[in-house]
Amino acid sequence: MAVRLFDFLTGLSGALDLISPEVVGHHKRVAYAAVRLARVLDLPRDERTDLYVAGLMHDVGGFSLQSRLAALQFETDGAKHAELGYRLLRGNPLLQNVALLVRHHHTSYAQFERLNAPPRKLYLANVLCLADRVDALLSREGERSPDQVLSRIRSLAGYKFAPDIVDALAELAGAERFWADMALSDPTGALTDSPDMFDERAMSRGQLMAASQAFSQIIDFRSRFTATHTRGVAETAVRLAQRAGFNAHELDQMRLAGNLHDLGKLAVPSEILDKPGPLTAEELGVMRRHPELGRAILASVPGLEQVTDWASQHHEQPGGQGYPCKLSGQALSLGSRILTVADVFTALREDRPYRAGMGSEETLRILDNMASTGALDPQVTSLMREHHAELNEGRQIAQTLAAEEFREFYSSLEQ
Ligand SMILES: [Fe+2]
Ligand SMILES: [Fe+2]
Ligand SMILES: [Fe+2]
């Protein structure tokens, strides 16, 4: 499973666009602009890389504040989304390097002296801040022309932005391709002609796990009802796959598929996720788009082909009544069938807005019923029954840990 870090993060950042059509491409454009600024400023390779990654992730905390994000009021939420983004990234072995950049991407240059943070991180955060403002001015706030953007940014030099970063933008403004690229929904391709930021090597196993875990939290932490769902599904799916005889490599792929299976749910408004009752036909339609949306994003990452199939088929049913493709028979691999059982099992055990989590007996009875009507694979379901105690314990431990992380994520955040 050879996956490049550049491909993984660039591809998955597309998931951050799902939340609101108004921000399509925002993360990629900010990442692009930050790297262009970094080149003019002659920043070293590791800092250019950090800026690219931070650009791709910078508004990630906005997902938990979805109503604000939908209104695009990034500037007026008191930078809470920046703080939440920081909290999502700070404990992640792969992404912690950029956590402070994200935390301070709305902090003014004039405040730096009073902050107890590494000056170099603040400086890089300010590069990100300026790149973010450029895209906001170009695409959201009245669609200003390049000249208007530049003069607006200039007027904030020394206050919002470090003067030398403003000078760097002025220099970039003369490069015609800069503004043309900033009009694209994905200008990151223009950076690959000089792939000097990322090394070409594949991500290590640890990096892949860490990156996929960051996205699993982004998916889950939007609602307290889903706060631990992904972790429970991934753990159950891996243990089931182990029992089914998968090898170590396949188990890793199953962990990734579990972590990313509900990626497309980022497009589902939290009012639907948290609705305390049955969904209307229209809401159900919105909900049911998530496997396809997830597939489109995962399929854009070379090396994730197997993961993409397993992840995006978790609502298919062996009897052919599932969605989105009504797959059945040979078209549904054992991996997909395992992930489906793990998803249903975990969902039944969890509290939902409209019901409490179920006990063992009831859960197993429902799984058996579903297997008998072709909704679940009978062999995988009996594997689940056979190892139920061990699988359930693993799920419980994983979800308890995730629940602690969720509490820490929101703790002492002023509302
Ligand atoms: Fe922001
Ligand atoms: Fe932003
Ligand atoms: Fe799902």
Cα(281) to centroid of ligand 2, in Å?
Answer: 33
Cα(28) to centroid of ligand 2, in Å?
Answer: 10
The backbone torsions φ and ψ at residue 69, rounded to the nearest 5 degrees and listed phi first, read: -65, -40
Cα(344) to centroid of ligand 3, in Å?
Answer: 9
Cα(70) to centroid of ligand 2, in Å?
Answer: 13
For 288-349, where are the alpha helices, taking DSSP H only? Answer: 290-298, 305-312, 334-349
pLDDT of residue 71: 40
pLDDT of residue 413: 66
Q: What is the pLDDT of residues 224-245, one digit of tens each?
A: 888 899 999 999 999 999 999 9
pLDDT of residue 351: 82
Task: Identify the segments of the chain with pLDDT beneath 70.
Answer: 1, 20-22, 64-78, 141-142, 192-197, 199, 412-415
In the chain, the domains with their CATH numbers are 5-191 (1.10.3210.10), 205-410 (1.10.3210.10)
Q: What is the pLDDT of residues 178-209, one digit of tens each?
A: 999 999 989 988 886 555 667 677 888 999 99
Q: What is the pLDDT of residues 257-272, one digit of tens each?
A: 999 999 999 888 878 8
DSSP 159-224: TTB-HHHHHHHHHHHT-HHHHHHTTSS-GGGGGTTS--SS-SSBPPHHHHHHHHHHHHHHHHTT-T
Cα(261) to centroid of ligand 3, in Å?
Answer: 6
Cis peptide before 21 (omega within 30 of 0): no
Cα(401) to centroid of ligand 3, in Å?
Answer: 21
pLDDT of residue 69: 45
Q: How far apart are CA 101 and CA 221, in angstroms?
A: 21
Long-range contacts of 180-183 (CB under 8 A, 24+ apart): 181/32, 182/29, 182/32, 182/33, 182/134, 182/135, 182/138, 183/138
Smallest-distance ligand from the CA of 323: 3
User: Which residues have beta carbons under 5 A from ligand 3 (an ion)?
Assistant: 262
Cα(62) to centroid of ligand 1, in Å?
Answer: 8
Q: Please name which of 132, 119, 143 lies closest in space to residue 169, comparing C-alpha atoms.
A: 132
pLDDT of residue 267: 85
Cα(107) to centroid of ligand 3, in Å?
Answer: 37
Cα(308) to centroid of ligand 1, in Å?
Answer: 29
